[in-house]
Amino acid sequence: FGSSFDPCAACPPVRHHTAPRAMSTFVAQLARAPVATVVPESLAVAPRLSSAGVASQLTSGFALGTAGVSLAAAAAAAATRRSSRASAGSRVHGSARAKAVVACRAVPTLHVGIVGYGLVGKELVSQVLANAAKLEKDLGVKVQITAVARSKTMVLLAPGGDSALANGAWPSGEVDADLSKLTDFVLAAAKASGGRAMMVDNTASDAPADMYEAWLAAGAHVATPNKRAGAGPYSRYEKIMAAARTGGSRFLYEATVGAGLPIVGPLQTLLKAGDEVTKVEGIFSGTLSYIFNTWKPGMKYSEVVNDAKNKGFTEPDPRDDLSGTDVGRKVTILARECGLKLELGDIPIKSLVPDALASWQPAAGESVGDGFVKQLEAYDAEMESLIADAKAAGEVLRFVGAIDLKADTASVKLSRYPKDHPFASTQFADNIVTYDTKWYRPRPLVVQGPGAGAAVTAAGIFGNIMEVMSGMRRPRP
């Protein structure tokens, strides 16, 4: 009391006073004025609440004898006069306030726009649809897919129409893709429901990344596995982060490093909590993890690369993986998270593609993957010496990205590690990252697990969606 009672952001504040004289004045006003202008909506709309009950709740804890009036009589008088004394202005005022109460009690909705409807996009939608009802029950927040875009077409869905996306289906009513129109549609849906908007970019393109700043500034949250923004030009990265602050929105990118593994989040938590991170090091490529977990002395390097290609671990052109550029992007994202103002080009990357094959092109009609592996055979002996030397020293070869916060540097390279090092324990296509910090010593904090694939990548994005939903929770009656 002596302060504002504010049930929620949508409800106007109601002032209360403790002094007896103020109470007498308040009750006298209650007797003269229409109830709608003085009674908080939280009480006015309560089911089966009598006028006397309203008065007693408003004055609970006060010295009624000092006030010197009959509250029940005043409330009854006010009720009698309500129909005759209420002016047009008070009716409008009461209506607006009643609508505010309804808005407060409505279940908030997160409206999601999906850009990119390939393997990851379809898996994400499947996860959202399968869990939406449970999340609404647990969090008191709805989530709806409001719009979906492919490379050339998009569908803008009616409220509750996201069931048309079940099982990876593409709904009817598609139009030419236009990210600006899609954005406006999602924002308008959020405004109409009183909820929030969220854009999810499942592509690997710069075009959606160029829109993050506008999305965030407009108040839409952004979640993505796309590394283009986090590892692209630093000037754009700064603008994106600034837009999130000014727009009251969140830029979420857990899935950019390690897919669904919690890698970015724990690092952010450590830094915000005041820990001092001195080094971050990890195996950030599922493809290269598989190659070096599989390759043993006596095996031809080209055959291991071919095995990874045949199992779908590599891109159609294996050089996209062996070049280390993708690892470099992930290292750039983590380095910036640690406060280093680095560009991707500032990071030395040791490519596993022989210089002579960097610009090689397949013959007409030849598969680029098969042709490259055949050319790689000429370098098997050179690579064999590397793994043989590592074994002789009791070590293993691993392709890693590292950030040295003491030296303010980052690198991507092929390194050797003793067999008791966490990196030596990786299996199949594991990703793994270690954080050396002031708190985590003498052994580092380790995060390890599958770091590639549509299901785990979608799970990382879905985790970010649920973070936003948790922040939208409202007190329940």
| Confidence grade of residue 7 (pLDDT, cut at 50, 70, 90) | very low
- The pLDDT of residue 4: 38
The answer on pLDDT for 292 being more than 70 is yes
- Separation of alpha carbons 373 and 307, rounded Å: 10
- The pLDDT of residue 341: 97
Residue 142 annotated to the active site = no
Give the tens place of pLDDT for each residue, 155-181: 999 999 999 999 999 999 999 999 999
The answer on pLDDT for 137 being more than 70 is yes
The pLDDT of 242-263, averaged and rounded, is 96
| Confidence grade of residue 94 (pLDDT, cut at 50, 70, 90) | low
- Which DSSP letter does residue 443 get? S
The answer on pLDDT for 26 being more than 70 is no
Torsion (CA) 268, 272, 273, 278 in degrees, nearest 10? 70
The answer on pLDDT for 10 being more than 50 is no
For the chain, give the longest Cα–Cα distance: 103
Which two structure tokens, joined as six digits, stand for 351? 């490519």
3-state secondary structure of 277: strand
- The pLDDT of residue 476: 76
- The pLDDT of residue 298: 93
73-77, 215-219, 233-237, 364-368 — which is least confidently predicted? 73-77
- The pLDDT of residue 96: 58
The answer on pLDDT for 377 being more than 90 is yes
As a residue count, the chain comes to 477
Query: Beta-carbon neighbour count of residue 253 at 10 Å?
Result: 23
3-state secondary structure of 50: coil
The better pLDDT of the pair 84, 232 is held by 232
Query: Beta-carbon neighbour count of residue 366 at 10 Å?
Result: 12
* CB burial string 414-425: b at 16+ within 10 A, e below: bbbbeeeebbee
Query: Beta-carbon neighbour count of residue 3 at 10 Å?
Result: 8
- Among 233, 413, 257, CA closest to 323: 413
- Separation of alpha carbons 4 and 14, rounded Å: 6
- Among 332, 355, 331, 334, CA closest to 343: 332
95-99, 231-235, 348-352, 356-360 — which is least confidently predicted? 95-99
- The pLDDT of residue 452: 84
- The pLDDT of residue 90: 52
The pLDDT of 249-266, averaged and rounded, is 96
- Catalytic residue, from 300, 330, 350, 438: name it: 330
Write down the pTM of the prediction.
Answer: 0.78
Give counts: helices (H), strands (E), the chain: 20, 14
- Among 80, 92, 70, 66, CA closest to 35: 80
- The pLDDT of residue 68: 39
Ranked by mean pLDDT, the top range of 2-6, 80-84, 370-374 is 370-374
What beta strand segments (E) does 1-139 contain? 4-5, 14-15, 109-115
The single-letter code of the amino acid at 81 is R
What beta strand segments (E) does 228-276 contain? 251-252
Mean pLDDT value across the chain: 84
